[in-house]
Homo-oligomer: A and B are copies of this chain.
Amino acid sequence: MYRDRVRLPSLLEKVMTADQAAALIQDGMTVGMSGFTRAGEAKAVPEALAQRAKQQPLKISLMTGASLGNDLDKHLTEAGVLARRMPFQVDSTLRKAINDGSVMFIDQHLSETVEQLRNHQLKLPDIAVIEAVAITEQGHIVPTTSVGNSASFAIFAKQVIVEINLAHNTNLEGLHDIYIPTYRPTRTPIPLTRVDDRIGSTAIPIPPEKIVAIVINNQPDSPSTVLPPDSETQAIANHLIDFFKREVDAGRLAKNLAPLQAGIGSIANAVMCGLMESPFEDLTMYSEVLQDSTFDLMDSGKLRFASGSSITLSSRRNADVFGNLERYKDKLVLRPQEISNHPEVVRRLGIIGINTALEFDIYGNVNSTHVGGTRMMNGIGGSGDFARNAHLAIFVTKSIAKGGSISSVVPMVSHVDHTEHDVDILVTEQGLADLRGLAPRERARVVIENCVHPSYRDALAAYFEAACQRGGHTPHILREAMNWHINLEERGHMLAAS
């Protein structure tokens, strides 16, 4: 059953159970695991680790590409396995542990983790656990539905555990393009100038003797949880598509736009869906995660090529795409997240980056991570990698949340992930604010006019006008700047009377 997937015969003797492989991971180790946006994570070994930790205390530092599926972060947290975790997560149980201070979470730009490892600024993984479709005749590892940080983890770790997952079709082989930047001080340019360039190998090249265990598994990826467009996300998509049309008319964008990046989530997905009805053709994506909308756009003939680091699909789309991968294979590539998100490439290609904000303020500072300035949601992910160097750095959000008790547009954000220097366009269902070339006072007027929910508009305008009376390049009244957040925390509504 799996012998055709472990093609270097000498490695067959390394096949063992997940429990046996997990026993190689010892207390205090740093472990690098595959997995990016619930795609392609190692599944059996971390689950075995969680089970073992119920008997025997075990703490590790866990690095992944991004978020894991199959409730692994939940199970590892509940078993008390996680001392440290980086660089991203989306699990509510782990989130709680991060926020009560029992798991140390390092929230990083997704392009930077392996750069810091390469330069020994983070502790190298003792062991890597990588999900694979197959191991080649040379002993190289063929990843599954994500590349993430898997290649560098396998290269840096002293020992590698491979999970061969029979639930993934072997037709995934050939989809990946593994390129690792050369070492400083003699690093050369990343030779990628088009979204469809292939610059590396189709498998992760490591000396086969580093593979210390092979576990056979048959558990699928978790389906994505993206919601279908609703009237508000549809309105956001419409504002953005109208904006793109104006940019094309003004000659600032070509008719096929520019390579698109869309963060994970329902709003970005709605925007991509909106492109289906748009006049734009011959589109390309240079993104992190490829979602349902990527394949819908390909099916509609709108999307010519998509480069990502993972594929995360809904149950609806999963069997269709992976069962008919030959239909898409010449239009797809999966790269290490260091390359999918690399500032050098993002700047060169001039991508359109569309990411979701938790909240933004009247001057265009964006909070992507912290509720009330304090409690971590998921992490910054790749949003900063893209926004800083994008041709257009776009942030989207619904203008209100929790039935209107929260305005996503505030006087001053409670935490800053993207500064006003890096934000070009803000969109809510109310409208779109084009901040390019504007000074802060001009930005505030455009944001208040276009993005704020009507129930908050007067209050926000009043704050801004009062702040302007006191002066300053970026007028603020520090005594009041955080009041909306404080009201929410103490009284349950941002505009609650004190």
Residues of A within 8 A of B (CB): 84, 98-101, 104-109, 115-116, 119-123, 184-191, 193-194, 250-252, 254, 258, 342-344, 347-350, 365, 370, 372-376, 380, 384, 388-389, 391, 412, 414-422, 424, 436-439, 441-442, 467-468, 470-476, 478-479, 481-482, 485-486, 489
Give the 3 A-B residue pairs with the shortest CB-CB distance, closest first: A374-B472, A189-B189, A376-B473
Residue of B nearest to A439 (CB): B104
Supposing A116-B437, A436-B116, A439-B84 touch, asked if A473 and B105 sit within 8 A by C-beta, the answer is yes
Give A438 to B370 CA distance when docked, in angstroms. Answer: 17
A101 and B252 contacting across the interface, CB-CB below 8 Å: no
Pick the contact of A421 from B99, B119, B380 — CB < 8 Å? B380
Q: Can you list 21 pairs linking A and B with CB atoms under 8 Å apart? A: A104-B438, A104-B441, A108-B421, A120-B250, A185-B258, A189-B189, A189-B348, A343-B344, A343-B347, A344-B347, A370-B472, A372-B478, A373-B476, A374-B476, A375-B473, A376-B474, A384-B421, A414-B478, A416-B419, A478-B489, A479-B482
Give A30 to B312 CA distance when docked, in angstroms. Answer: 47
Supposing A349-B184, A439-B106, A482-B482 touch, asked if A374 and B343 sit within 8 A by C-beta, the answer is no
Give A186 to B349 CA distance when docked, in angstroms. Answer: 8
Give A442 to B107 CA distance when docked, in angstroms. Answer: 13
Residue of B nearest to A470 (CB): B374
- B residues less than 8 Å from A348 (CB atoms): 184, 187-189, 344
Give A88 to B344 CA distance when docked, in angstroms. Answer: 24
Q: Closest CB of chain B to A461's CB: distance in Å?
A: 16
Supposing A252-B120, A416-B416, A482-B481 touch, asked if A439 and B105 sit within 8 A by C-beta, the answer is yes
- B residues less than 8 Å from A252 (CB atoms): 119-121
Main secondary structure of the interface of A (DSSP, over half): loop
B473 and A99 contacting across the interface, CB-CB below 8 Å: yes
Give A108 to B398 CA distance when docked, in angstroms. Answer: 28
Q: Closest CB of chain B to A460's CB: distance in Å?
A: 17
Q: Closest CB of chain B to A30's CB: distance in Å?
A: 10
B101 and A441 contacting across the interface, CB-CB below 8 Å: yes
- B residues less than 8 Å from A442 (CB atoms): 104
Give A90 to B402 CA distance when docked, in angstroms. Answer: 44
A189 and B190 contacting across the interface, CB-CB below 8 Å: yes
- B residues less than 8 Å from A468 (CB atoms): 101
Give A81 to B442 CA distance when docked, in angstroms. Answer: 19
Supposing A373-B478, A389-B343 touch, asked if A471 and B349 sit within 8 A by C-beta, the answer is no
A437 and B106 contacting across the interface, CB-CB below 8 Å: yes
- B residues less than 8 Å from A391 (CB atoms): 119, 184
B436 and A474 contacting across the interface, CB-CB below 8 Å: no
A185 and B486 contacting across the interface, CB-CB below 8 Å: no
**Residue of A99, A373, A468 with most partner-chain B CB within 10 A:** A373
Give A185 to B470 CA distance when docked, in angstroms. Answer: 45
- B residues less than 8 Å from A419 (CB atoms): 384, 416-419
A416 and B258 contacting across the interface, CB-CB below 8 Å: no
A485 and B478 contacting across the interface, CB-CB below 8 Å: yes
Give A282 to B100 CA distance when docked, in angstroms. Answer: 48
Residue of B nearest to A96 (CB): B471
B474 and A374 contacting across the interface, CB-CB below 8 Å: yes
Residue of B nearest to A415 (CB): B474
Residue of B nearest to A375 (CB): B472
Give A186 to B258 CA distance when docked, in angstroms. Answer: 12
